[in-house]
Amino acid sequence: MISRNVSLKKYNTFKIGGNAKLFAEPKTIRDIKDLFLFCRQNNEKFFILGAGSNVLFGDEGFDGLVIKIGKHFETGKSLHTLIQTAADKGLGGIEKLEGIPGTIGGAIFMNASAHGQQISDCIESVVSVTIYGEIITRTKEECKCAYRNSVFRMLDESILSAEFNFVPMAKDVINKNRKEVLAWRREKQPLKYPNAGSVFKNPTNNIPLADSRVSAGYLIDSCGLKGCRVGDAQVSELHANFIVNRGSATAKDVKALIKKVTQTVKDAHGVDLETEIIVATG
């Protein structure tokens, strides 16, 4: 079940990263429990991976076990699949998240949001397995979802499944919302090059500007950073809160560019940008 020295480039949307020392794609809950036991017994670090759409792996790879949660689990399926299944039944509430290229589990983990909707709006409960093999069910309140955050970001657990309480809506309204969001993404987001989505969270407080909530993209753009490059990593010329891989960008390039962007915005606006993407170290 465990493979060695697996390239991580094909397992993330940035197409960046070295090899995982160990790599596994479990098919059952028992498999996940066994992998966690293996990590405990061998003092191995581990990283839970979904679609890899919000992660940056280091050039040196990951010195531990990468556990990829795939379609054998409900939460390993794409967020699109959940939205489509709900839409077919006349259920909405998260249809404006269409086009986010992650898994259901990844969306819960980071409380994915877009266009005034967030996945936690419709969460009823979430089931996960701990590193000690315990199965835990949490209510929506216990998931402690906030902007781009949930309790799972602070826990060594793997999300297994979830129950949702969707909003009954006319199918034509749901599909209209989906089409509009997808059209917006095609126009506004750099889909041509590999990327990991929005790099920075939108600031929500301590902003010394007139607006109480100024987007990270606006702040970066206002500093004239669109098109700024370090190696083959570039601030997108289409959307300033995206860093794209123009071909052979390294994690070192991306990190250097992130540092440059954060310092420039800090100097210009006094705002500390916080990264949204997960930098998998090790």
Of residues 220, 116, 108, 205, the one with CA closest to residue 164 = 108
pLDDT-derived band at 208, boundaries 50, 70, 90? very low
Mean pLDDT of the chain: 95
pLDDT tens-digit readout, 142-155 = 999 999 999 999 99
Q: Is the domain 193-280 a CATH 3.90.78.10 member?
A: yes
Q: Is the domain 2-68 a CATH 3.40.50.720 member?
A: no
Catalytic residue among 128, 150, 198, 236: 198
Assess whether pLDDT exceeds 80 at residue 206: no
Encode 238-260 in three state secondary structure. Answer: CCCCEEEECCCCCHHHHHHHHHH
Catalytic residue among 25, 148, 150, 157: 148
The helix/strand/coil state of 6 is: strand
148 labelled catalytic: yes
Cα separation, 155 vs 219, whole angstroms:
32
Catalytic residue among 25, 95, 157, 276: 276
Topology classification of domain 74-172: 3.30.465
pLDDT tens-digit readout, 236-269 = 999 999 999 999 999 999 999 999 999 999 999 9
198 labelled catalytic: yes
pLDDT at residue number 82: 98
pLDDT tens-digit readout, 122-141 = 999 999 999 999 999 999 99
Conformational region of residue 276, where left means phi above 0, alpha means psi within -120 to 50, and beta covers everything else:
alpha
The helix/strand/coil state of 16 is: coil
Assess whether pLDDT exceeds 70 at residue 274: yes
Domain ranges of the chain: 2-68, 74-172, 193-280
Cα separation, 111 vs 103, whole angstroms:
12
Please list the alpha-helical segments (H only) found in the chain. Answer: 29-42, 79-88, 104-110, 171-188, 216-222, 251-269
- The model carries a pTM of 0.93
Per-residue CA distances from 251 to 57, 121, 210 (Å): 7, 34, 35
